[in-house]
């Protein structure tokens, strides 16, 4: 088989699938990318057996054939080529490809596609369409809150719930919780609840940057795997098995103090405080004062390190309720502020031992809970 395509498109396609290639592999063929013709397009697929990423690019295809070749070598070689177009000829003996662009030519040995792990088919279950821009934003605000260590495997995933015409994403790592509710493209007859690996959703978020208008989410009938289909890419993943914590119980239903501050100012104050917090156990103290006689309230963002010094930043705030103080981990505080957009951010809390709840009018269905740190005041 002979394939001719734009070098830029091939480079982008390889970059898309490369993230599924494991750094170390017990199965050598998983270090390879599968190349095949599919309905007049070149299909590229890579897998680590837990997650598979496929992408389709426009190409001129003559004949039929499939082959797998080392993914990183092909990617690096394509990126080094001078021409605008690339020709790839599939070789049967020995198995591999011949890659040509202008007067540059390279032969790369491969492995028969028969040895490539089969990609699970996801069918017989539920399928919904979600607007791409909304879903990408939701992923950006939720996925980072998932755990990165495997001590509690269910927390390395994101709970995805589908009910009626709504979806809910929830992630937690024992110290913080992010929840976002949004609307589906159409209503679903049955309720669905699965745990999708956070690493998978991070890849979906990245791929949604290709300009897709919608993403189709399919979950197989036995709840073992899921597929995310975008305009020119597809991600198939194994699902995390287990019971996700009842996150609704972790969100306070009331507050004693609510402070609304300018988001950009809060980010700047927290960034400054984080510099001192590096040498002070990563602690940032937040003090909220409602002001006197209905005057303007204030929020102080404070950090100190015994050996280095201290930092105090005061912000104007619209405060409802009582005076209060609470301490947070500087990284967790910075993480949530960095994913919010809009003019203001709301902080709801009650006592120094109560969680802090962050909300933004810009993100209607979003709630972020950060557990407090217990400190000497």
Confidence grade of residue 124 (pLDDT, cut at 50, 70, 90) = confident
Q: What is the pLDDT of residue 295?
A: 65
State residue 243's pLDDT score.
95
> Given this model, what pLDDT does residue 235 score?
97
With b for 16 or more beta-carbon neighbours within 10 A and e for fewer, the 347-371 pattern comes to: bbbbebebbbbbbbeebebbbbbbb
pLDDT at 294: 66
> How would residue 26 be classed by pLDDT, with cut points 50, 70 and 90?
confident
Residue 335's pLDDT is 97
The structural domains of the chain, with segments of one domain joined by +, span: 2-115, 126-249, 252-370
In the predicted model, what is the mean pLDDT of the chain? 94
Going by C-alpha positions, the residue among 141, 155, 152, 175 that lies closest to residue 329 is 175
Topology (CATH level 3) of domain 126-249: DNA Polymerase III; Chain A, domain 2 (3.10.150)
Q: What is the pLDDT of residues 37-56, one digit of tens each?
A: 998 999 999 999 999 999 99
User: What radius of gyration do the chain's Cα atoms show?
Assistant: 25
Mean pLDDT of 78-88: 94
State pTM to two decimals: 0.92
pLDDT digits 0-9 by tens, 258-304:
999 999 999 999 999 999 998 878 999 999 999 876 667 999 999 99
> Would you say domain 2-115 falls under CATH 3.90.25.10?
no
pLDDT digits 0-9 by tens, 325-353: 999 999 999 999 999 999 999 999 999 99
CATH, domain 252-370, list 3.30.565.10, 3.10.150.10, 3.30.9.90, 3.40.47.10: 3.10.150.10
Q: Is 327 exposed, middle or buried (0-12, 13-18, 19+ CB in 10 A)?
A: buried
Tokens describing residue 143: 């996925």
């Amino acid at each position: 088989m002979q394939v001719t395509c734009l070098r830029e498109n091939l480079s982008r396609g390889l970059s898309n699938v490369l993230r599924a290639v494991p750094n170390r592999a017990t199965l050598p063929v998983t270090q390879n990318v599968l190349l095949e013709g599919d309905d007049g397009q070149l299909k590229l697929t890579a897998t680590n057996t837990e997650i598979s990423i496929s992408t389709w690019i426009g190409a001129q295809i003559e004949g039929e054939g499939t082959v797998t070749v080392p993914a990183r070598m092909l990617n690096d070689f394509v990126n080094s080529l001078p021409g605008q177009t690339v020709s790839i000829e599939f070789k049967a003996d020995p198995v591999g490809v011949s890659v040509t662009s202008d007067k540059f030519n390279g032969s790369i040995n491969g492995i028969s596609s028969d040895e490539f792990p089969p990609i699970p088919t996801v069918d017989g279950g539920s399928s919904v369409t979600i607007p791409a821009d909304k879903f990408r934003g939701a992923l950006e605000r939720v996925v980072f809150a998932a755990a990165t260590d495997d001590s509690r495997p269910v927390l390395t995933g994101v709970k995805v719930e589908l009910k009626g015409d709504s979806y809910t994403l929830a992630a937690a790592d024992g110290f913080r919780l992010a929840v976002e509710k949004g609307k589906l493209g159409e209503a679903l007859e049955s309720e669905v609840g699965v745990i999708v690996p956070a690493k998978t959703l991070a890849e979906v978020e990245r791929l949604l940057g290709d300009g897709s208008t919608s993403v189709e989410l399919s979950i197989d009938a036995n709840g073992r795997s899921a597929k995310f289909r975008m305009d020119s890419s597809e991600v198939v993943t194994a699902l995390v098995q287990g019971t996700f914590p009842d996150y609704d119980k972790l969100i306070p239903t009331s507050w004693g103090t609510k402070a609304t501050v300018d988001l950009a100012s809060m980010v700047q104050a927290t960034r400054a405080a984080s510099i001192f917090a590096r040498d002070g156990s990563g602690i940032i103290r937040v003090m909220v004062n409602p002001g006197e006689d209905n005057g303007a309230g204030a929020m102080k963002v404070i950090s100190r390190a015994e050996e280095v010094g201290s930092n105090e930043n005061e912000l104007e705030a619209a405060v409802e309720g009582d005076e209060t103080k609470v301490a947070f981990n500087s990284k967790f505080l910075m993480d949530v502020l960095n994913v919010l957009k809009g003019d203001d951010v709301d902080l709801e809390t009650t006592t120094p031992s109560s969680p802090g709840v962050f909300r933004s009018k810009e993100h209607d269905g979003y709630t972020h809970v950060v557990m407090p740190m217990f400190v000497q005041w």
